Amino acid sequence: MTSEQALSISLGLQGPCVIARLTGDFDFGSAAEVRDRVTKALDLTQPPMLVIDMQAVSVCDSSGLSVLVYLHKAVTASGGRLLLSGLNGRCEHLFAITALDKFFDIRRTAELAIAELNEEGNAPPFTG
């Protein structure tokens, strides 16, 4: 018997960062909604700075991973940065066995990721 937990997505803006907090099962049933909603939110900042907080993700399957790779490519193609945060034991293991822990920038907490991107986003422009 499996217990599925519907995914909820909380989107917010903190400084120059879009924060997407995911709660529940990030799987085939929720992947398209995450992709669509987060992609639309990226228009709020230029270049896009995105933190995806996965602390409350109970399950992540290949569909979820595919969406994360898609978002990473979209953000970096626009000159922005994506940080993942809060990978729990199951997700951390999944990222390790797929070597995606080498592909993504991962921070322990959303607060650390947000602080890092806020610092980058508030840096004075280069005038040299």
Token pair recorded at residue 65: 């991973």
Domain boundaries along the sequence of the chain: 8-111
Mean pLDDT across the stretch 104-114? Answer: 96
pLDDT one-digit tens code per residue, 50-108: 999 999 999 999 999 999 999 999 999 999 999 999 999 889 999 999 999 999 999 99
Q: Which residues contact 88 (CB under 8 A, 6 or more apart)?
A: 54, 55, 57
Please give the CATH topology (third level) of the domain spanning 8-111: Transcription Regulator spoIIAA (3.30.750)
- The pLDDT value given to residue 91: 93
The pLDDT tens digits for 2-53 are 557 899 999 999 989 999 999 999 999 999 999 999 999 999 999 999 999 9
